[in-house]
Structures are given as C-alpha cells and as structure tokens.
Amino acid sequence: MDTLFFIISKLIGLCLQVETWLAVALATAAVASLFGRKRLSASLSAATFLAVTLISIFPIGEVLLAPLEAEYATRNMPEQVDGIVVLGGAESPRKTLRWNQPQLNDASERLVAAASLAIAYPEARIVYAGGSGRLLDAVAGRAPHPPIAIDVLSSLGIDLGRVTWEDQSRNTAENAQLSFDPVQPEPGETWVLVTSAFHMGRAIASFEAAGWQGVVPYSVDYRTGSFTGGIGWDFSSNLEDLNTAIKEWVGRLAYRLAGR
C-alpha cells in the first residue's frame, strides 16, 4: 500500500507541474492549427505566452509558499535536546556519483542546521531520514543511494557514532515511520525536527501520526522574500517555486485525507 501511495503521488506530482500544462497547451495549439482551428490555436498560444510572462516576472510561487513558511518560523529551543531528526532532500545523488564528491542542492541548509545543532547539543543523537524519492527507483529497482549527508556531517566534524542513517524512506510519511523504530523515542524526550520551512507543517503532522511526541520544529531553507523584491525576469526560479508550492499544498491535503 505504501508503494502504491508513493507511485500515485509521484504521478500526480508530474501532472501538477506547471510546465506539463504549458507543454500540453502548446501541443494542443499546434494540433488545433493543423486541423484548421485557428481561433483555438491562437487562444491557447496567447494564454501560454501570458502564463510564461507572468511566471517570469512575478514571484507567484512565493506568495503561495509564504503562509506555509510562516507556520513554524519562530524558534523556541529547549535547554535539553535528546535527539535531532533531519529530513533528507538536501543531496544531489546523480552529481555525487558522477564526480565522486558530495553534492548538495537548494535545501543544503538542512545539513548546515543539523551540524550546528549537533555542536550546540553534544549529547543529542542524530537521525538522518531519507532514501531515494525517485519514481524510477520504485518502478525499475532501487539504485544505490550514496551516503552524501553522512559524508558531509563527518567532514564538518560530527562524530558518526551519534548518527543513525535511515535510508529506506521515500517520502515524508515514511521518514517519520521508518525513523521511529530504530530510535524508539521515549515519552518525555525532546527531539528537534529539521526540514525546509515550507515543508514543516506536513512533516510535523506526519511525525505525530507516526507516534512521535513533543517534536520541536526547526525550520530552515526559507524560499520567500518581499514580493516587490522578487519582481524581475527569472522564469526558471519562479517556476521552481511555483511547482514547490503547488506540490506542498496538494501534498498536505493528500496526507490529511490519508491520515499520514
């Protein structure tokens, strides 16, 4: 059931990507033109051009991400921390395998924060939760997942004897479920959860559903700034933010309905 949920969620995610709809609109416009439906073709072409222009100029995705990031923006750190859970997603496995050197992506703040917390709380255990979230790995067989996060933490001076690497989970719900058993957090313990700010709300809900108690959120990797400061021409960055926002809002709804 978990694998089916994972595959369906990935397929829905592909369908929700904005570029998918832009490509469909352009393809439909081309077909309409071939069949003499010039008005329909012109309308679709104009709508696609307008959408690309608006996405390029305005940070629409940031508007949708802002309320998600604001949920757990305040940090009230306890004096005693028993453990730190860091969600995967900061790695670039394909580039790492090519260059034989740990490579990170836009979410690299997750690992920086984990190292910082590990230094601030030297007695705390550390759990890095995350395997491969690629659909191809689930369908065609699991590819080797390099221990990028472990290598990075080690290079930053963190004792690997403190670290548990959970490398089988493919999504947030599995992060919470599969990291619970090896850690067995006891009632009264304080565990800090590190993940991207826009993702924290869904992550907290998943951890609570998996049985974790009293998890303290530690949000990083903020993607939003002032709206006016984001006005310009940056199609790729704005498109990425918009896709991230759509994925997170839909994912939050799906998780809520599925009790995850």
From first to last of the 260 residues of the chain, give the pLDDT tens digit: 566 666 777 788 888 999 999 999 999 999 999 999 999 999 999 999 999 999 999 999 999 999 999 999 988 899 999 999 999 999 998 899 899 999 999 999 999 999 999 999 999 999 999 876 554 555 555 555 678 999 999 999 999 999 999 988 889 999 999 999 888 899 899 999 999 999 999 999 999 999 999 899 999 999 999 999 999 999 999 999 999 999 999 999 999 998 87
Full strand arrangement of the beta sheet holding 83-87: 163-166, 125-129, 83-87, 191-196, 215-220
Which residues on neighbouring strands pair with residue 193, listed in sequence order? Answer: 85, 217
Closest CA to 104 of 152, 65, 138, 154: 152
Token output for 180: 């619970």
Evaluate whether 115 touches 97 at the Cβ level (below 8 Å): no
The CA distance from 133 to 114, in Å, is 21
pLDDT of residue 56: 98
CA distance 103 to 95: 6
Cβ–Cβ < 8 Å for 190, 78? yes
Report, in angstroms and rounded to the nearest whole number, the Rg of the chain calculated over CA atoms: 21
Q: Are 106 and 143 in contact, with CB atoms under 8 Å apart? A: no
The reported pLDDT for the residue numbered 189 is 94
Q: Write down the pLDDT at residue 137.
A: 56
The stretches of the chain forming alpha helices (DSSP H) are 2-16, 18-34, 38-57, 60-70, 93-99, 109-120, 135-140, 148-155, 172-183, 200-209, 235-258
Per the rule left: phi > 0, alpha: psi between -120 and 50, beta: everything else, 157 is left
In whole angstroms, give the CA distance from residue 148 to residue 224: 27
Residues present in the chain in total: 260
DSSP 3-state assignment of 118?
helix
Q: What is the pLDDT of residue 75?
A: 81
Backbone angles phi, psi at 219, to 5 degrees: -80, 140
Based on the number of CB atoms within 10 Å of its own CB, is 203 exposed (0-12), middle (13-18) or buried (19 or more)? buried
Residue 144 confidence (pLDDT): 58
Domains and CATH numbers, the chain: 2-68+232-258 (no CATH), 75-220 (3.40.50.620)
What's the token pair of residue 114?
Answer: 């984990």
CA 110 to chain centre: 11
Q: How far apart are CA 1 and CA 100, in angstroms?
A: 35
Residue found under tokens 């590990």 = 118
pLDDT of residue 231: 97
Instruction: Write down the pLDDT at residue 42.
Output: 97
- Quick one: tokens of 80? 């005693």
